[in-house]
């Protein structure tokens, strides 16, 4: 049994992973963006009596992040993320800043806090949620893709840095989900069209862009959530963890083929 802290458990993959890991006997701190989400999770948990507790941990709130200093944490899963969309040619630069704050800077800050205890105890495990979109960018979705590309550099760097401390065993791992039918992608896509329909270089082809993007995810999204939740479990439980856990396999193969041909 490991004590696991997961961010972003109010919905989506974080919620499902928290329940799955608790069902396997781990004690899960299923943290959420809001108090309301935490209360709902705790109410749900009363019915099923799982080894799980939920509380608000906004990765942008310093006071929230300081809560981890009072906890014993064996595994940190940096799962919380947001997205945004629009053309690099005209999107408000602050939208990039907001997504980087939540997806990159907040998790790094939280990780540094948790590492104080892990390095002192000489063991632990850090997991970051990247994305296959961090391997192959999608047009008009660069604010989200860029943050995942950043994690693809940061996580391996941290993993190798901690290996320099020879008496410390703290693997740092990436989970790279493909697109899943959680509603996240549609919410992300929709953000661009509110302002692009009013004033944009692409105003005259908005309908075409909108149809193309929604159709792409309709065709590619997997409804088999278990395929990625199993990767969360393996990333936590494998005695000798891999550097990356990826699902679904079909999307992994498609991205590999796409990148091979795009590099020629």
Please spell the DSSP secondary structure of the chain, one letter per residue: --EEEES--SSHHHHHHHHHHHHTT-EEEE-BSSHHHHHHHHHHHHHHT-SEE--B--TT-HHHHHGGGGS--SEEEE---------TTTS-HHHHHHHHIIIIIHHHHHHHHHHHHHHHHTB-EEEEE--GGGTS--TT-HHHHHHHHHHHHHHHHHHHHHHTSTT-B--EEEEEE--BSSSHHHHHHHHHHHHHTTS-TTGGGHHHHHHHHHHHHHHH-B--THHHHHHHHHHHH-SS--SEEEE-HHHHHHHHHHHHHHT-
- Is the confidence at residue 147, as pLDDT, over 90? yes
* Chain segment 181-225, per-residue pLDDT in tens: 999 999 999 999 999 999 999 999 999 999 999 999 999 999 999
Distance of CA 157 to the CA centre of its chain: 18
Encode pLDDT of 7-38 as tens digits.
999 999 999 999 999 999 999 999 999 999 99
| Residue-level pLDDT at 143 | 98
pLDDT at 255: 84
Residue 127 has pLDDT above 90, yes or no: yes
**What proportion of the chain, given as a percentage, has pLDDT over 90?**
92
Angle between helices 226-237 and 12-23 (to 10 degrees): 60
Least confident of 89-93, 106-110, 119-123, 259-263: 259-263
Measured from the Cβ of residue 247, the count of other Cβ atoms closer than 10 Å reads 24
Residue 264 predicted with pLDDT over 70: no
Q: What is the mean pLDDT of residues 158-166?
A: 97
pLDDT at 253: 86
The pLDDT of residue 56: 98
- DSSP β-ladder status, 52-53 and 75-78: unpaired
Residue 263, pLDDT > 70, answer no
Of the candidates 177, 178, 128, the one whose C-alpha atom is nearest the C-alpha of residue 153 is 128
pLDDT value, residue 257: 81
What whole-number distance in Å separates Cα of residue 61 and Cα of residue 83? Answer: 18
Task: Go through the domains of the chain in sequence order and give each one's CATH number.
Answer: 3-262 (3.40.50.720)
Handedness of CA 160, 79, 188, 136 (dihedral sign): positive
Q: What is the mean pLDDT of the chain?
A: 95
């Amino acid at each position: 049994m490991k004590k696991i802290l997961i961010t972003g458990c109010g919905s989506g993959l974080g919620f499902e992973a928290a329940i799955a890991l608790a069902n396997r006997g781990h004690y899960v701190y299923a943290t959420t963006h809001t108090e309301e989400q935490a209360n709902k999770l705790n109410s749900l948990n009363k019915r099923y009596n799982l080894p799980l507790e939920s509380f608000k941990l906004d990765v942008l709130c310093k006071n929230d992040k300081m809560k981890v200093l009072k906890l014993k944490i064996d595994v940190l899963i940096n799962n919380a993320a947001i997205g945004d969309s629009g053309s690099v040619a005209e999107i408000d630069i602050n939208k990039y800043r907001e997504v980087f704050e939540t997806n990159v800077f907040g998790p790094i800050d939280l990780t540094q806090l948790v590492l104080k205890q892990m390095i002192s105890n000489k063991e632990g495990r850090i997991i970051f949620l990247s994305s296959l979109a961090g391997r192959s960018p999608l047009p008009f979705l660069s604010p989200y893709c860029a943050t995942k590309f950043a994690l693809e550099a940061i996580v391996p760097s941290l993993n190798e840095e901690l290996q320099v401390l020879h008496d410390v065993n703290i693997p740092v791992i990436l989970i790279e989900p493909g697109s899943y039918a959680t509603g996240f992608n549609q919410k992300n896509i929709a953000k661009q069209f509110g302002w692009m329909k009013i004033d944009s270089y692409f105003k005259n082809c908005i309908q075409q862009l909108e149809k193309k993007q929604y159709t792409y995810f309709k065709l590619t999204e997997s409804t088999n959530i278990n395929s990625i939740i199993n990767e969360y479990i393996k990333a936590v439980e494998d005695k000798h963890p891999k550097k990356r856990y990826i699902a679904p396999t079909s999307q992994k193969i498609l991205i590999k083929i796409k990148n091979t041909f795009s590099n020629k």
